[in-house]
Amino acid sequence: MMKKFLILALIATVIIACGEKKESPSQKIKRERKEQAAAAKDGLGVGEIKNVTLNNPLNQEMVKRGLAIYEMKCAACHKLKGSRVVGPSWAGLMDKRKPEWVMNMITNVEVMLDKDPTAQKLLEECMTRMPNQNVSIGDARDILEFIYQNDLDNAKK
C-alpha cells in the first residue's frame, strides 16, 4: 500500500514539474522587450497593431470619418502637404511608413516615442512630443484610410 502511494506521489511530482511553467515578471519584461525590438526592426512600430488589412478601393465612409478626426485632433500639428509645422507633414506618409507603424504611433504614442527608433528620430527632428489624443483603434484605422486618400490626392496634383 505504501509502495503504491510513493509511486503515485512520484508520478504526480514529475507531472507537476514538467507542467507549464509560469513566466516571472522579469522574464515577461525581457520577452516583451524582445518582441518590441523585433516589431520596431520590422517597421511595424511598438504596440497592439500587428497586421492591417487595407481596403482596395479605399472605403470612402472611413475616409470621411478619418478627415473629421484629422480636423479635430491632428490638423493643428500635421499638414496634408508641404513642410512640417509642429509634427511632420502627412504628404507621402504611406510611402515612408507601414500602416501598422502609423496606427501604433496614433494609438500608442508614449511607448512609440520611448521605444521605437523611427519615432525617436522624428522626436529629435520636431523637438515636440506628440500628445496622446486617446484615439481608439477604430478611429486610427479611419485616419489611416484618410492618409491613403491624402496620398492619392497629392499624387494627382
Q: Residue 115: give its domain's CATH number.
A: 1.10.760.10
The answer to whether residue 24 sits within a structural domain is: no
What pLDDT is attached to residue 27? 82
The answer to whether position 7 is within a domain reads no
Q: Over the stretch 23-73, which tens digit does the pLDDT of each residue have?
A: 888 887 777 777 666 656 689 999 999 999 999 999 999 999 999 999 999
CB 54 within 8 A of CB 147: no
Range 104-127 average pLDDT: 95
What confidence score (pLDDT) does residue 24 get?
82
CB atoms within 10 A of CB 147: 25
129 or 15: which leads in pLDDT: 129
Grid cell of 6 as nine digits = 510513493
Domain range for 67: 33-156
Domain-embedded: residue 22: no
Residue 26 in domain: no
**Residue 11 falls inside a structural domain:** no
pTM, 2 dp: 0.76
Residue 83 has pLDDT above 70, yes or no: yes
Q: How many domains does the chain have?
A: 1
pLDDT of residue 19: 56
10: in domain? no
Q: What is the DSSP string of 97-139?
A: S-HHHHHHHHHSHHHHHHH-HHHHHHHHHH-SPPP-----HHH
Domain annotation covers residue 47: yes
